[in-house]
Amino acid sequence: MMAARQQPSLRGTLLREEPMARHTSWRVGGPAQRYYQPADIVDLALFLAQLPADEPLYWVGLGSNLLVRDGGIRGTVIATSGMLNEISLLDDGRVRVESGVSCARVARYCAHEGLAGAEFLCGIPGTMGGALAMNAGCFGGETWRLVESLETMDRHGELRRRAAAEYEVGYRHVTGPAGEWFVATTLKLERGDALGLLEANRQLLERRSASQPTQQPNAGSVFRNPEGDFAARLIEAAGLKGRIIGKAQVSEKHANFIVNLGGASAADIESLIEVVRREVNQQHGVALQCEVRIIGEAEVARG
């Protein structure tokens, strides 16, 4: 008689009712029912394969482009930051990066290796997974200009390899095969001078610090720039710079940032987002599109 095959054990960490305020750059957000930190891609596949088919599923990196409402999240959060964290040099100027690696670390790594083209990533305060999902960019660069291929995983834990050409990519917009999440990417870069690239990174970080409220909790740019214009210009022209609701404020340093003054709720921030959208639309006839992902329940509802 053959012995039954034993199911492999999970190696990651599962937390219950985990406050999302600990995992978002705005420092707000109610609890996630389940919060899973996978040990690696193999462990993540095993965890996903064991989930119920109807389980609500959310993927979170550094939480830097995310507003979790005060009522929290029903379902499971997959936490990639610090977990899917491998970066490795391949051949011909190619670098493989897992989705939990911070964009800033990718910029430093590439500069140290003398690979040019990734310097702009030092100004993106998120992970590669998030940057891939929205084609994040700054300082004139965009993530998908570097992408050669991708590794994705569906909710059943099946891993696939895909070419960049399988995705439709635009300004802060990416559309591809449904029901798959990015777990790694291969970037293609050009050869450059390491010292010069490291200096370029330093200068870009200085520019970011000078123009953005990096010392206050924020989620980066809140609105997409409308074609031919800048969201920050429209917001400032509408007289909204410095506007406060509760403990949330339109930054006095950069009008397309909303900062947590200390003790803000997610409701404060979401209300301020709506005020900005309404006022800009009324005064300028421009419907600003929110760049921040908003998830969760407005009120605590547990059963």
Strand 293-295, strand 66-68: pairing: parallel
Full residue range of the structural domain in which residue 63 is found: 13-79
Does residue 300 surpass a pLDDT of 80? no
Does residue 172 surpass a pLDDT of 80? yes
Does residue 126 surpass a pLDDT of 80? yes
| Whether residue 25 lies in the annotated active site | no
Does residue 5 surpass a pLDDT of 70? no
Note whether 171 and 122 are same-domain residues.
yes
- Residue 58: pLDDT band (50, 70, 90) is very high
| Whether residue 221 lies in the annotated active site | yes
Under 8 Å CB-to-CB from 233, ≥6 apart: which residues? 255
pLDDT of residue 61: 94
When the pLDDT of each residue in the chain is averaged and rounded to a whole number, the result is 93
Considering its fold, how many domains does the chain have in total? 3
Does residue 87 surpass a pLDDT of 80? yes
User: What is the chain's length?
Assistant: 303
226 inside domain? no
Region 190-199: what's the mean pLDDT? 94
Region 94-108: what's the mean pLDDT? 97
Does residue 148 surpass a pLDDT of 50? yes
Note whether 24 and 109 are same-domain residues.
no
- Residue 7: pLDDT band (50, 70, 90) is low
Q: Domain containing 24 — which CATH number? A: 3.30.43.10
Where does a domain end: 79, 111, 131? 79
Model's pTM, two decimal places? Answer: 0.90
pLDDT of residue 84: 95
69 inside domain? yes
- Among the listed residues 81, 99, 221, 251, the single catalytic one is 221
217 inside domain? no
Nearest to 18 by CA among 66, 80, 73: 73
Note whether 57 and 94 are same-domain residues.
no
pLDDT of residue 3: 35
Rg (alpha carbons) of the chain, rounded to whole number: 20
Region 203-230: what's the mean pLDDT? 93
Q: Domain containing 249 — which CATH number? A: 3.90.78.10
| Whether residue 277 lies in the annotated active site | no
Q: Mind giving me the DSSP string for the chain?
A: -PPPPPPPPP-SEEEEEEEGGGSSTT----EEEEEEE-SSHHHHHHHHHHS-TT--EEEESS-TTEEE-TT-EEEEEEE-TTTS--EEE-STTEEEEETTSBHHHHHHHHHHTTEES-GGGGG--SBHHHHHHHT-EETTEEGGGSEEEEEEEETT--EEEEEGGGSEEETTEEE-STTEEEEEEEEE-EE--HHHHHHHHHHHHHHHHHHS-TTS-B-S--BPPPTTS-HHHHHHHTT-TT-EETTEEE-SS-TT-EEE-SS--HHHHHHHHHHHHHHHHHHH---PPB-SEEES-SS----
d(CA 115, CA 194): 7
Note whether 114 and 50 are same-domain residues.
no
pLDDT of residue 303: 47
pLDDT of residue 6: 41
Where does a domain end: 176, 211, 246? 211
Note whether 160 and 115 are same-domain residues.
yes
Does residue 284 surpass a pLDDT of 90? yes
Region 123-147: what's the mean pLDDT? 94
Region 66-89: what's the mean pLDDT? 96
- Residue 2: pLDDT band (50, 70, 90) is very low
Note whether 251 and 160 are same-domain residues.
no
Where does a domain end: 32, 60, 79? 79
CA distance readout (Å), 15 to 33, 39, 125, 190, 275: 8, 14, 25, 42, 35
Higher pLDDT residue, 101 or 300? Answer: 101
Region 24-46: what's the mean pLDDT? 97
- Among the listed residues 27, 94, 172, 208, the single catalytic one is 172
Nearest to 125 by CA among 186, 198, 65: 65
d(CA 114, CA 137): 21
Contact 205, 123 (CB under 8 A): yes
pLDDT of residue 298: 85
Region 60-71: what's the mean pLDDT? 96
Does residue 226 surpass a pLDDT of 90? yes
Q: Print burial letters for 251-275: b (CB count within 10 Å at least 16), e (below 16).
A: bebbbbbbbbeeebbbbbbbebbee
Higher pLDDT residue, 130 or 303? Answer: 130
218 inside domain? no
